A and B are shown apart, each in its own frame.
Chain A
């Protein structure tokens, strides 16, 4: 079954850290760029990070640059997002998504169900 399943979301205090994970299955994971997108409660989508298929290049949104590290394990079909120095405004559902093949930049054709991160004291 072609799917992405996120995990790792939880309640964390301001200034804390969290590592989100996304397990991929049913497709050739190492062929795809992967990305993380978040959605604050009642708000819109916000792209936050990208990693190339080989894991050699990573990109980050300015809003979280310096506090994020994206990584992947192509042998085990995982992509991870390490988030540090979390703030209340980072409270959101975090989605893992696959970028469509063929160079369609910004086209994410497979999404996970999301994992919720709540930053609160």
Chain B
């Protein structure tokens, strides 16, 4: 159960767009459309932002979008805002109902 690979950090200015990648394998990201993304502010519980690759839960801004190509999923945040500064984690379903997370990406809004 290897962790998914995410960049350690990304940054962008207010109003810009950024993309965070999440690379797995043909056993997880590449095999299933069950990739989710979470936002975590310091000392807070994670919040679900995207599920099933590209679906937003009710209440999540449409500035957040997800996609997948092969073994790599991506989270795009458009129109960056100061409150988007947080850690972001992807996860994927794998065989046998196992779930694997990425190592996390720290987003800095400059």
Contacts and interface: CB of A to CB of B under 8 A. Distances in A.
B69 interface: no
A46 B1 CA distance: 11
Contacts of B1: 61-63
Interface size class of B (residues with CB under 8 A): 20 to 34
A107 B3 contact: no
Contacts of A50: 97, 99
A47 to B, nearest CB: 4
Interface string B70-99: 000000000000000000010111001111
A109 B91 contact: no
Contacts of A59: 96-98
B96 A104 contact: no
Contact of A107 (B34, B89, B100): B34
B104 A45 contact: yes
B102 interface: yes
Interface residues of A, number: 23
B46 interface: yes
A105 B99 CA distance: 8
B3 A47 contact: no
A71 B10 CA distance: 39
B57 to A, nearest CB: 6
Given A46-B101, A111-B47, 8 more contacts: A37-B101, A44-B103, A106-B35, A106-B91, A106-B92, A107-B52, A108-B36, A108-B48
Contacts of A114: 45
A113 interface: yes
Interface string B39-66: 0100001111001100101000000000
Given A47-B100, A47-B101, A107 B36 contact: yes
